[in-house]
Amino acid sequence: MQRDAPRLREVSRFAGLERRVVTERDLVAHSVSVMAPSVSALGLAFVLPDVVGPGAWLSVLLGFGLAHLLAGAFGQFARRMRAPGSLAAWTARGLGVGPAMVVASSLIFGYAVLTAFGITAAARRISGGWEAVSGEQAGPGLEFGAVGAVIAACLVVIARGVRWSTRFALIAESLALVCLVVVLAVTAARWGLPSWSDFALAGASPMRIALGAALIMTITVGFESAVGLAVESARPFATVPRSMHCALALTGLLFAVSVALNSGPAGGHGAGRIRWLRPGEEHSPLDGLILLGLALSLAVLALCAWTALSRLLFAFGREAIAWRRLGAVHPRAKVPHIATLAVVPLVLAPVAITVATGHRLGWVTGHLLETATLALCVAYAVTAAAVVPFLLRIDELRARSVCGAVAAALGVLGLTGVVVWHDAMAGRGWLLGIWAAVVGAGLAWWLVLRGRVSGLADRIGAHDETLRDDVLLPGQEGLHV
């Protein structure tokens, strides 16, 4: 016996965005860009063997393995929902409004800090590249000018539309990866490959390995940022979950190669540290080019985090849980232009604090990045925990899904605990204070909305529902595809 046809929308809740235009390749590039593998593989990977000691490769395995577990848990939602509100919408479906608002505030803070970090770090690499090419000291004017240039470039690229901006990210990130491969090849040729004994676990400290895995989390945060583009993606239920795993696999492979090289003779010679091709020389045009490649990668990180944040704010505008104008879409560019512009003050705030406190550019964002990692990791754990009630609610609970989600949530919470303990021991408790403020802001947002907005539970967690034009119904006439 046939059931009655469900009521389907004629027009999407998220109407106005350009639908089904972002390809899987572009989605992978977006996710890879937010992780900026060229920057981490030439930065953190060069120092990780020194920080962790024996067993650095285990840290890499643990860190990226955990990120894959998280991607699997997120995939349970991404295969069923297209939601620009990303993790906040998913959490609302599983755990309800309160946890969703905490996740929402954590995502806003996390993506804003990632964007600001990308911009300021790109400006510093541009300045460093100039110094390497010219051999002259760059003044602060160049760095602040570069900040303005990167912000303007991001806005111009975003204004061209999502198809153009994601393709730009793909090309730019590919160029940055070429720089990374060149450096790794030169490092291997100059210092030689590691031997099996370099990977021995004798003298390894489990606590240091866990700390190394927690450091890996700082480079994998944001891997899920492409889920905000699901409405604009072609076949999102296939491409979005796959793009998260592909991006993690690519980034993990490059990072592992870099860690492996630096676990061998290259690490002992102090390879890296800004001059990869001509170590120890101030004037090195080739290293200047590499630095400019890294600046490009960081600028693309900012672009992609900015795009993800704009989709998040756009969703909150459409759900009417934030300023409604955030849900506006530019009729020609088909991007949420008000939400995009709303990010500017969030990005400029760390720069303003830097100027006010007299620190060097990047000091504030560098510290905030640690808190943002903490906030995002807690948001990831909450979202992973939401998988179980969500699947139970739609009657599709399976043991395998439960095990994956629970393992991901517990693993992230465990590594987050290591970070909290490390920060507390290092006398950086104020970072935890900022994180508590972010969580408090989410709870306060919830309490304010609860008193003012009716039907809050129905608003939050909105997804791009199946439209009438997307289905074949009994007795349907005039089929035009």
Partner 1 sequence: MSEPDGFLARQPAAVDNAFAVLEKVAELGPGTTARQLLAELPMSKATIYRIIKHLVAHEYLVRTPDLTGFILGRRVRALAAAAQSAPPEEPAPARGSEAGQSVPSTLPVTASWVTAP
In this structure, what token pair is assigned to residue 180?
């990374």
The answer to whether residue 4 forms part of the interface with partner 1 (CB under 8 A) is yes
In this structure, what token pair is assigned to residue 250?
């690519």
Give exposure, 311-346, as e/b (b: 16+ Cβ within 10 Å): bbbbbbbbbbbbeeebbebeeebbbbbbbbebbeeb
The answer to whether residue 473 forms part of the interface with partner 1 (CB under 8 A) is yes
Among 267-275, 344-352, 380-388, 461-469, the segment contacting partner 1 (CB under 8 A): 461-469
Q: Nearest distance from residue 332's CB to partner 1, in Å?
A: 27
Q: Nearest distance from residue 471's CB to partner 1, in Å?
A: 5
Output 12 or 365, the one with its CB closest to partner 1.
12
Q: Nearest distance from residue 314's CB to partner 1, in Å?
A: 20
The answer to whether residue 470 forms part of the interface with partner 1 (CB under 8 A) is yes
Q: What's the Rg (C-alpha) of the chain?
A: 23
The whole-angstrom separation of Cα 371 and Cα 13 is: 33
The answer to whether residue 458 forms part of the interface with partner 1 (CB under 8 A) is no
- Using CB under 8 A as the criterion, what x/- string covers residues 64-93 for binding partner 1? ---------------xxx-----------x
* Inter-helix orientation angle 363-393/399-425, to 10°: 150
Q: Nearest distance from residue 475's CB to partner 1, in Å?
A: 5
Contact 181, 245 (CB under 8 A): no
Binding residues with partner 1: total (CB under 8 A): 33
Q: What is the DSSP string of 119-177?
A: HHHHHHHHHHHHHHHH-SPPPHHHHHHHHHHHHHHHHHHHHT-HHHHHHHHHHHHHHHH
The whole-angstrom separation of Cα 245 and Cα 242 is: 5
In this structure, what token pair is assigned to residue 175?
């160029």
Question: From the list 61, 394, 417, 441, which residue makes contact with partner 1 (rule: CB under 8 A)?
Answer: 394
- Using CB under 8 A as the criterion, what x/- string covers residues 220-239 for binding partner 1? ---------------x-xx-
Q: What is the DSSP string of 228-280?
A: GGGGGBSSHHHHHHHHHHHHHHHHHHHHHHHHHHHHTHHHHTT--TT-SSSTT
Output 238 or 436, the one with its CB closest to partner 1.
238
- At position 195, the amino acid (one-letter code) is S
The answer to whether residue 5 forms part of the interface with partner 1 (CB under 8 A) is yes
Among 277-285, 335-343, 402-410, 463-471, the segment contacting partner 1 (CB under 8 A): 463-471
The answer to whether residue 469 forms part of the interface with partner 1 (CB under 8 A) is yes
Question: From the list 8, 355, 436, 457, which residue makes contact with partner 1 (rule: CB under 8 A)?
Answer: 8
Among 159-167, 367-375, 435-443, 473-481, the segment contacting partner 1 (CB under 8 A): 473-481
- Using CB under 8 A as the criterion, what x/- string covers residues 22-61 for binding partner 1? ----------------------------------------
The whole-angstrom separation of Cα 258 and Cα 238 is: 31
Q: Give the closest residue to 262 by CA, choosing from 208, 202, 206, 183.
A: 183
Count of beta carbons in the 10 Å neighbourhood of residue 174: 11
Output 75 or 411, the one with its CB closest to partner 1.
75
Output 144 or 237, the one with its CB closest to partner 1.
237
Given the rule CB under 8 A, which residues bind partner 1? 1-9, 79-81, 93, 235, 237-238, 394-396, 398, 465-466, 469-476, 479-481
